[in-house]
Structure 1
Amino acid sequence: MEIISGKSHTTKNINQLEFWISTTLFIFALISICTQTTYGGGDSYHFSQHSLNYSVMQNFFLPEIFKISILYFSFLLFNFVSMPQLARKQNTITNLIITIAVTIFSIIAWMVANTYSQAYRILEYDDLDKAYDVFFGEAFTFIFFLYLLFNAYAYFNERGLELLKRIPLLKQNNNNIVPEVFTATKIWLILLMIFASVLSLKIDYEILIVWLLVPPVNIFFAFCAIYYIIPNLRKNFKGFGRYFWGNVVLTIIISLLLLIILIPFMRNREIVPITLILNAICLICITTPSAWYIYKHKFEKLSEIQMLKTELGKSDANLNFLKSQINPHFLFNALNTLYGTALQENAERTGEGIQKLGDMMRFMLHENTLDKISLTREVEYLNNYIDLQKLRTSRSADIRIEAHIEEQLNNLQITPMLLIPFIENAFKHGISLQQPSYIKITLQTKEKTLYFDVSNSIYIKADNDPEKLKSGIGLENVRQRLSLLYYEKHELIIRESAKEFFVHLTLQLD
């Protein structure tokens, strides 16, 4: 049978919200029936009026349990087995037969149950066959309508999103509206099924028409407000007052349209003004403020998130650009240093410089592309750079370079190429081959805090020095990177006097 072949699909969907809602309602109904049975509930009064014997078990408990169980298990069958497979066009004939058979069985069972729970009504008819015809007609009308709702809900639950996505109006306005319309329609159908089930045979069809009409009108009005009315008002800088009074006018127009629609269907004309007043109260007092609240707390927050994403994207692009600026800068400095060393006759020193340059190039090609690297690798790069610069300046007795860089044996992480601009700046602007000059570098860590100091001498460059008019990009880049990557996690102090340039950086690391 298809019930077995659809087992995996049923198991997959059994955890859905519909199962738990229907099961909870079923349990509450059972508790209510048991409670009424305990206190002698049911229609015992009508039985005594017609001089009929009344058994609380036979004329109330068993028929009501049987009826509510039929509705519960039929809903599970339609919603989780037969209709989902029909919607997917799987085993169509088998599932149609199951649906029709269950409906026929439910109609007959409901009629039989009512002949016990409402046996006193049989005496109201002269002909027993006529009484059974009335019972059958009532059972057929109720079960057919309710099962039609069950299957409509199950079909919409399976194919509703796909159907809504085909509606051009929904697709053009906003893609987010489709799942929201889907959810709102499901809630309306669920409430409609509960409404019909609770009223049972006592359905007032005029009230049913009201229930079929008023909620969809309010739902449609809410979506129009959220996706069209409020956005247009906000574009024109209009507030809640304009929105509210505009909705009052729209409510009057909608009420007039409903009046034209309802009059032909209402035998009791008195219910028409009640319906219009109820709908107007819902539109003005519930739907109008709710739509405004939803728009304010959803779409304006989405706008803020989108703005933050845009700013983050700009920061990302800026950060990547800064990285691309830094790498060539160091590369050219290193090549110039190697070139100067090669001119100084000693091939051994040139080889050492090439080796250190290779280590630096390897670092830039691999680690520099990562967001974070170990502090140990960053320190190795700094030492290579300092050693390479020492090769260039080692022949000059007037140049003093002191580097006190603590060996890092921890697992701290740091953004690559974050510290080197300060050292590069010191060698670029603090060293003179003609004048006494110095550079002092210290780096140490305590727990997760890094302390980094660089100080260097300052001298006046010659007029023909090509670096005289260049301010460099290193320090400016590192300032921006620190503000982007270590916001409120760093302290940068830069002091400059006539003879000295000093940098102090405190950094909170991960």
Structure 2
Amino acid sequence: MKTKSLAFRQIEWWIVTLVFLIIVLVNILSAGNINHRGANHEMIGYFAKIFIPLILFLVFYLFHMVLIPKYLRNKKMGPLIFLSLLIAIFSYVIITLFSIGSKITESPFTAFYFKIMAIYMGYLVWVIFLKQVLTPPKMKDYQSYNSIRLGSIFFFLTLFLLQIDQLVHRSIAFILAFALPSILLVLIYNYFLIYKKRLSGKSKLANFYNVLLMVLFPGFFLLIAMAEGDEIPLLIGLGIGLLIQLVIIPISNLSFDKYLGMVGQIKNLSHKVEVGSANLSFLKSQINPHFLFNALNTLYGTALMENAEKTADGIQKLGDMMRFMIHENQQDQIPLKREIEYVNNYLDLQMLRFENEENLSVDFKLPPTECEGQIAPMLLIPFVENAFKHGISTKNKSWIRINLRCMKGTVHLDLVNSIHPKKTAENAKDESGIGLENVRKRLEHYYPGKYNLSTISNESEYFVHFSLQLD
């Protein structure tokens, strides 16, 4: 009600449809009042009171649900004016013929048609005025606009009903003019004073307002019955009270439950999306910083021991990796060849670090960087990082074997590294490395049902097989 405009075109359509349906049904059921031995114009009048409302309803549909929405889409004034005049003239001629033939009007000038058109045009102008004055940014929200426009629908509809006493009995028009706003008021009363009170746990207060509503309508008609000395108004009041309690309130409560349930589901889904995005950002941030510090330490040690050539090469690779993490790592998907380039740069830097290690054997096979497809960033590198972190010992024989392949929309990684006794001071939480659990979560987020990740270990080796079907 506050955050956006209600779907008024649909609301107007259903309310007007209900009114015309009641008018047509009442006129059809009035066939018993026709004097079959009377003049032919009585029979013509009977059909006129059926077809004229149907024609007016068709005109409303063409204007309100076809021409105006089409104009709002394409902003072409010419077709709107031409078709509007064509519909107005054609419908006026037909209604006038029915009116004269049934003696609803005595002259070719059908006044009620122009009154109805004037009411409809007045409503459209009033709606434009409300949009200009009561909608954001001139107002902080849509509550005033929605409330006043909703009331305007019933006000202009009442004016319309009071102009068609030639087509429907005036008492029916008054009943409709009274019933529609009354139903709206009952719905508002029920929502704010009964339904919401009961929903917030204030059952006694809700019951009080419900009893007050039960007494209100019968009491009003009781006063009328006492003033006129007639029991019929009292019976009408009791009937209206039963209708409110047995039909309107239960149906409206079901509608409120459904609406609030949908709102709750939307809020819950929005919350889950926000939490998922926050977790994903956090997972990325966990992955990013780890290798930078190790790589910088490696380059620092290399710079002390060697001349500038290797150091420059290492710095260049590290710079490329930093650019990757700052820019491409923040994207949902990147080219697969860029992910492979990142892995290759990482391996080259690690080989600088362990180049003189006699106990270490590293064998890696990477595909050419022309591998096609897109992949979520930082899915491959955590497996390689963990192999170097847990598979290398400066005292014992160590080995790492990496085989990375891409084939027809899939990528496959097989990795084997040696296992060494863990240091007693090592943090137990760090046992699986910085990224494997994060990788599993990201795979479930981006590629549910499209990946296979299995790990096997024995006393001396740790195996990883990972395959992924790319989008």
Instruction: Report the TM-score when normalising by structure 2.
Output: 0.69
- Structure 1 residues 149, 250: CA separation in 2 closer, same or farther (over 3 Å shift)? farther
Matching of residue 368 in structure 1 with residue 329 in structure 2: yes
SS at match of 1:200: coil
- Structure 1 residues 250, 485: CA separation in 2 closer, same or farther (over 3 Å shift)? farther
Shift of 1:199: 4.7
Indicate if the aligned counterparts of 1:452 and 1:505 stay in contact, CA closer than 8 A: yes
Give the Cα–Cα distance (whole angstroms) in 1 for the partners of residues 57 and 422 of structure 2: 95
Indicate if the aligned counterparts of 2:218 and 2:241 stay in contact, CA closer than 8 A: no
SS at match of 2:215: helix
Give the Cα–Cα distance (whole angstroms) in 2 for the partners of residues 388 and 452 of structure 1: 20
Q: Name the structure 1 match of 2:5.
A: none
* 1:48-447 paired onto structure 2 within 5 Å: 117-118=102-103, 149-150=119-120, 153-159=123-129, 179=146, 182=149, 186=153, 188=154, 199-200=165-166, 203-205=169-171, 207-226=172-191, 229-236=194-201, 249-259=211-221, 269=230, 272-273=233-234, 275-407=236-368, 409-447=370-408
Q: Name the structure 2 match of 1:101.
A: none
Shift of 1:357: 1.4
Residue by residue over 1:303-335, the C-alpha shift from the partner in whole angstroms, topping out at 9 and shown as x without a partner, is: 121112112212211221222232221211221
Matching of residue 456 in structure 1 with residue 417 in structure 2: yes
What's the Cα RMSD here?
A: 5.3
Give the Cα–Cα distance (whole angstroms) in 1 for the partners of residues 362 and 457 of structure 2: 19
Shift of 1:216: 1.6
Letter in 2 for 1:209: F
Shift of 1:378: 0.5
Letter in 1 for 2:279: N
Letter in 1 for 2:216: I
- Structure 1 residues 253, 311: CA separation in 2 closer, same or farther (over 3 Å shift)? same
Letter in 2 for 1:255: F
Indicate if the aligned counterparts of 1:421 and 1:474 stay in contact, CA closer than 8 A: yes
Indicate if the aligned counterparts of 2:299 and 2:315 stay in contact, CA closer than 8 A: yes
Q: Which has the larger radius of gyration?
A: 1
Give the Cα–Cα distance (whole angstroms) in 1 for the partners of residues 365 and 323 of structure 2: 24
Indicate if the aligned counterparts of 1:146 and 1:196 stay in contact, CA closer than 8 A: no
Shift of 1:257: 4.9
Letter in 1 for 2:183: N
Shift of 1:488: 4.0
More off after superposition, 322-331 vs 370-379: 322-331
Indicate if the aligned counterparts of 1:451 and 1:504 stay in contact, CA closer than 8 A: yes
- Structure 2 residues not aligned, in runs of 5+: 1-8, 28-33, 69-91
Q: Name the structure 2 match of 1:39.
A: none
Percentage of pairs with the same residue: 31
- Structure 1 residues not aligned, in runs of 5+: 1-13, 33-41, 49-53, 82-105, 120-131
- Structure 1 residues 393, 287: CA separation in 2 closer, same or farther (over 3 Å shift)? same
Q: Name the structure 1 match of 2:85.
A: none
Shift of 1:416: 0.8
Letter in 1 for 2:348: D
| Number of residue equivalences | 423
Letter in 2 for 1:210: I
- Structure 1 residues 456, 77: CA separation in 2 closer, same or farther (over 3 Å shift)? closer
Shift of 1:63: 13
Instruction: Report the TM-score when normalising by structure 1.
Output: 0.64
Q: Name the structure 1 match of 2:440.
A: 479
SS at match of 1:444: strand
* 1:486-501 paired onto structure 2 within 5 Å: 486-501=447-462
- Structure 1 residues 362, 307: CA separation in 2 closer, same or farther (over 3 Å shift)? same
Give the Cα–Cα distance (whole angstroms) in 2 for the partners of residues 261 and 411 of structure 1: 84
Give the Cα–Cα distance (whole angstroms) in 2 for the partners of residues 69 and 377 of structure 1: 67
Indicate if the aligned counterparts of 1:161 and 1:182 stay in contact, CA closer than 8 A: no
Indicate if the aligned counterparts of 1:226 and 1:294 stay in contact, CA closer than 8 A: no
Shift of 1:223: 3.1
